[in-house]
Structure 1
Amino acid sequence: MADTEFDIIIIGSGPGGYVTAIRAAQLGFKTAIVEREHLGGICLNWGCIPTKALLRSAEIYHYMQHAKDYGLSADNVGFDAKAVVQRSRAVSGRLNMGVGGLLKKNKVQVIWGEAKLGKAGEVIVANTTKAPMQPQHTPPRGTIGAGTYKAKHVIIATGARPRVLPGLEPDGKLVWTYFEAMVPPEMPKSLLVVGSGAIGIEFASFYQAMGVDVTVVEIVDQIMPVEDAEIAKIAQKQLEKRGLKIKTGAKVTALKKSDNAVTATIEQGGAKSDLTVDRVISAVGVVGNIENLGLEALGVKTEKGCIVIDGYGRTNVPGLYAIGDVAGPPMLAHKAEHEGVICVEKIKGLDAHPMDKNKIPGCTYCHPQVASVGLTEAKAKAAGHEVKIGRFPFLANGKAIALGEDQGLIKTIFDAKTGQLLGAHMVGAEVTELIQGFVIAMSLETTEEELIHSVFPHPTLSEMMHESVLDAYGRVIHM
């Protein structure tokens, strides 16, 4: 007979959920995780990982097209859209199976089905109505199913889904969300992307690299609205140079569908124009999956479509917690993972530090890449800081020039009085791999002095991080 009582039950097996389950098991908790559809959640199966596989194919295709820039030749360069998608799905499938193996290794019980909260400490699981999307997403061996389960602590990690705006409702054929955009049966000739956040810009970058005529519409005055304005401006210039068409301060007011095309009415600066494209991607954000969980009956506090928590994942109901996208922005996989670890370590009674959202990095994997952590220049000034700002361009870095990637910028923001690193912002090649250096610096409360005295290896892109700090204090060498 299946075991029905646990110390901790986690609802949802996305990055937040499965990492939380593993950490809970490491801490000695008898742990179960409930999943209705696919281990690894949206990030692993339909988000972070497979999109990077698509973008990698686009990146290599771009380099092949520009082989002569490196003294090489590549004739008759082309691609197989189905094979590109198949590679992306295979990457996802491999990691999906890996999550199942990790849960088994750590003796986390997987419960397959749809969860709903009952009375305090009770989780009712019904048979799932969600069919696995791929063969490898079938329930792993040792899985148990529908029933009533009890736990001293219940953690909600149900993630988020695409936001739907009136008039932009996805239909799966002509108007896509990221689900359909990830598995196109064939490449469209033209595409409209509504929204220029990370999801929108990444898909726009992918499809443009594959030869699609792409237009991006963003309602505010800059693309990637959460990023530093200076960095966003540089990114936009480079994206447009590669062929993207970008309309900021604009909105789509209507969509008119025909058999195999969509005509969008776009309003910008008081003027309206029509644009006919093969497909539309709606990338206007995501909303938390808080429905049908039984939150209302328990009196769980929610706000703006998300569950309200404190710095340790605790809701207003004792014994009930929430982490990840369902608990609010920033809606990022690494935030969910860390939030979950904090949550179970606090339950264990360890000296867990509350989540500091100001130290969570953000990355956008378009070409050029964008990465950041901490305050933008505008937010630092608005918070009352007197700032020192350093900048160092890729065109002055030897490694960047050798790579043929000399367009970009590293920008650092310091408090002028204390030397505290308030924020770091980057645009250019591989900046998503560089940003962690500044994340660590901020976590260690590093000032400009330690960064200036640190020795960075040569020749590397990371030297630009050092030079940017030097620039903030009038000591830059190579510029």
Structure 2
Amino acid sequence: MSGEFERTQRIAIIGGGPGGYEAALSGVQLGAEVTLVERAGVGGSAVITDVVPSKTLIATADAAKAISEASDLGVQFFARNSDGKPSRPEVAINLAAVNKRLLSLARQQSEDMRQTLLDAGVRIISGHGRLEGPGAVVVSTGPHGTDFDRVEADTLVISVGASPRELPSAKPDGERILTWTQLYDMPTLPEHLIVVGSGVTGAEFASAYMNLGAKVTLVSSRDQVLPGEDADAAAVLEKVFRRGGMTLLSKARADSVVRDGDGDGVVVTLADGRRIEGSHCLMAVGSIPNTAGLGLEEAGVQMTSSGNIRVNRVSRTSVPNIYAAGDCTTFVPLASVASMQGRTAVFHAMGDIVIPIERRRIAANIFTAPEIATVGWSEQDILDGKIEGVVHKLPLAANPRAKMMGITDGFVKLMARRGSGTVLGGVIVGPKASELIYPIAVAVDRRLSVDQLSRAFAVYPSLTSSITDLARSMHIVDRGPDLDEA
């Protein structure tokens, strides 16, 4: 009879991005009373200003690239002059129309997510939330922060995301010096876009605007683009960038970015004194968590010096009833990871079955052209002796379907444990690598061997057959270290 007197568990979530959204749905699924506090809109920056609009822009760039390369497959585009003779038309990008579409898609996605939460029974409060100790959230809801709402909760989930990092010597103005959230206000394609930062964000936007037809200069402080990623993948991307006309400046640190004299362009000054002039500059130099002023320290939540919330593998903070998810945490900053963290946090808080998140099982993708997808242990991990394994690589150009599609760049790479042949990780560089990585991610998650992976039927012809072909070539790995070395 004691169950009749048990109170429904109350969950309060600050931030409606992927982590907060999934936490809210998981909470109502398990019978909790859920309140979501969101300042900008459901979906957060991932949907409104980051992932959804940027990947929509990239999809447009991919379409433009496909049209420009169609002649290689025998597809030719012609128009007729007034004299009836054919002339080859130019591919034109209406950036204002592109931006209007991608922002509309972002708003629609946000509204769809909001409606899903409301239909599920989630209470949504629009405003800025702040912790009041470990058991309540105070929300400023008025137009000037004058009205307040107070939400008491048994479990708190913080999923406030992150914002573009700004440098004092390169202050974004929203017109010529831009963060990645401000790109969508440009009415026309930039004449010369200088991208400062060659990490994932910088590489993705540099790739997209190059394929849209802009002149692009990529400034990298490291000796290759995508530092920390697979070296072979970075080399392929650099080759594609240079072939497309992009200027790559490696080991070049930007000291300052300012508007030029007449204000119609920008000047980027490098540490070695070089000056680069362009029409616009995108600052892609990392992000900072949106954790300031949330009352986290006062509630006892441990954080890093950079403001990221320390969490364990079930998304729990140093305070037992407070969890955190997404880019504001110390975990991998991916939307898919934020979603998993949100679900894991609520499942753990409510006593449901939880499988702690493992970094090595997370699949990630870089949406350049070609795409770069990775999962599991890397080749560098093996070279550094962190794990014993072997590495095999197969060029995508050898694949029959790739030949039919005119694909010349990219590869499939597998890492497997020496002796047992257990798949440790993989890298795919090529079109739709984000889709192709999934079977390797399953193999890593389920600890399949290369033999087991190779025995799954792949359609012929298909790009996925490169995965089974590569796994088949590693069959000897299963025979033991002596035969493998032989």
* Cα deviation digits, residues 108-155 of structure 1 (max 9, x gap): 110111000002211000026699xxxxxxxxxxxxx84111010010
> Cα offset for 1:449?
2.3
> Cα offset for 1:82?
0.8
* Cα deviation digits, residues 233-264 of structure 1 (max 9, x gap): 11111122112221222211222322121111
Alpha-carbon separation, structure 1, partners of 2:208 and 2:386 = 39
In structure 1, the residue corresponding to 2:163 is in which secondary structure?
Answer: strand
Alpha-carbon separation, structure 1, partners of 2:30 and 2:23 = 11
Alpha-carbon separation, structure 2, partners of 1:223 and 1:358 = 23
Alpha-carbon separation, structure 1, partners of 2:281 and 2:355 = 43
- Are the counterparts in 2 of residues 392 and 471 from structure 1 also a CA contact under 8 Å? no
Structure 1 residues 191, 399: closer, same or farther in 2, change over 3 A?
Answer: same
- Are the counterparts in 2 of residues 391 and 472 from structure 1 also a CA contact under 8 Å? no
- Paired residue for 2:95? 81
> Cα offset for 1:452?
2.4
> Cα offset for 1:383?
4.1
- Paired residue for 1:287? 288
- Are the counterparts in 2 of residues 37 and 128 from structure 1 also a CA contact under 8 Å? no
Structure 1: which 5+ residue stretches go unaligned? 132-144
In structure 1, the residue corresponding to 2:327 is in which secondary structure?
Answer: helix
- Paired residue for 1:418? 420
- Paired residue for 1:136? none
**Pairing of 1:108-127 with structure 2 (within 5 A):** 108-127=122-141
> Cα offset for 1:276?
0.4
- Paired residue for 2:169? 167
* Cα deviation digits, residues 71-106 of structure 1 (max 9, x gap): 223234312111111111121122111101210121
Alpha-carbon separation, structure 2, partners of 1:232 and 1:473 = 28
In structure 2, the residue corresponding to 1:425 is in which secondary structure?
Answer: strand
Say yes or no: does 1:341 pair with 2:346: no
Provide the aligned length of Structure 1 versus Structure 2. Answer: 455
Say yes or no: does 1:56 pair with 2:59: yes
% of aligned pairs identical?
A: 29
Structure 2: which 5+ residue stretches go unaligned? 1-7, 78-88, 478-486
Alpha-carbon separation, structure 2, partners of 1:61 and 1:425 = 26
Alpha-carbon separation, structure 2, partners of 1:167 and 1:123 = 37
**Pairing of 1:287-366 with structure 2 (within 5 A):** 287-303=288-304, 304-366=306-368
1:86 partner amino acid: K
In structure 2, the residue corresponding to 1:296 is in which secondary structure?
Answer: helix
In structure 2, the residue corresponding to 1:344 is in which secondary structure?
Answer: helix
- Are the counterparts in 1 of residues 311 and 331 from structure 2 also a CA contact under 8 Å? no
In structure 2, the residue corresponding to 1:97 is in which secondary structure?
Answer: helix
- Paired residue for 1:274? 275
- Selected match of 2:116 from 102, 110, 113: 102
* 51-60 or 29-38: bigger deviation: 51-60
- Paired residue for 1:135? none
Alpha-carbon separation, structure 1, partners of 2:400 and 2:248 = 31
2:126 partner amino acid: W
- Paired residue for 1:265? 269
Q: TM-score, normalised by structure 1?
A: 0.91
> Cα offset for 1:166?
3.3
> Cα offset for 1:161?
0.7
- Paired residue for 1:471? 473
1:13 partner amino acid: G
> Cα offset for 1:372?
0.5
Structure 1 residues 201, 50: closer, same or farther in 2, change over 3 A?
Answer: same
1:281 partner amino acid: L
Structure 1 residues 101, 19: closer, same or farther in 2, change over 3 A?
Answer: same
Alpha-carbon separation, structure 2, partners of 1:121 and 1:383 = 46
In structure 2, the residue corresponding to 1:166 is in which secondary structure?
Answer: coil
- Are the counterparts in 2 of residues 37 and 130 from structure 1 also a CA contact under 8 Å? no
1:262 partner amino acid: V
- Selected match of 1:19 from 13, 17, 22: 22
1:389 partner amino acid: V
2:268 partner amino acid: A
* Cα deviation digits, residues 194-242 of structure 1 (max 9, x gap): 1112211111111111221101111122211231111111111112211
In structure 1, the residue corresponding to 2:182 is in which secondary structure?
Answer: helix
- Paired residue for 1:41? 44
Alpha-carbon separation, structure 1, partners of 2:400 and 2:329 = 43
- Selected match of 1:237 from 239, 248, 260: 239
- Paired residue for 2:153? 151
Structure 1 residues 76, 230: closer, same or farther in 2, change over 3 A?
Answer: closer
**Pairing of 1:367-382 with structure 2 (within 5 A):** 367-382=369-384
Alpha-carbon separation, structure 2, partners of 1:62 and 1:299 = 51
* 160-169 or 333-342: bigger deviation: 160-169
In structure 1, the residue corresponding to 2:27 is in which secondary structure?
Answer: helix
* 330-339 or 271-280: bigger deviation: 271-280
* 81-90 or 378-387: bigger deviation: 378-387
- Selected match of 1:225 from 221, 224, 227: 227
- Paired residue for 2:3? none
Q: TM-score, normalised by structure 2?
A: 0.90
2:101 partner amino acid: R
Structure 1 residues 423, 128: closer, same or farther in 2, change over 3 A?
Answer: farther
2:264 partner amino acid: N
Alpha-carbon separation, structure 1, partners of 2:193 and 2:142 = 35
Higher-Rg member (1/2): 2
In structure 1, the residue corresponding to 2:368 is in which secondary structure?
Answer: coil
Structure 1 residues 112, 408: closer, same or farther in 2, change over 3 A?
Answer: same
- Selected match of 2:32 from 22, 29, 33: 29
Structure 1 residues 474, 449: closer, same or farther in 2, change over 3 A?
Answer: closer
1:29 partner amino acid: A
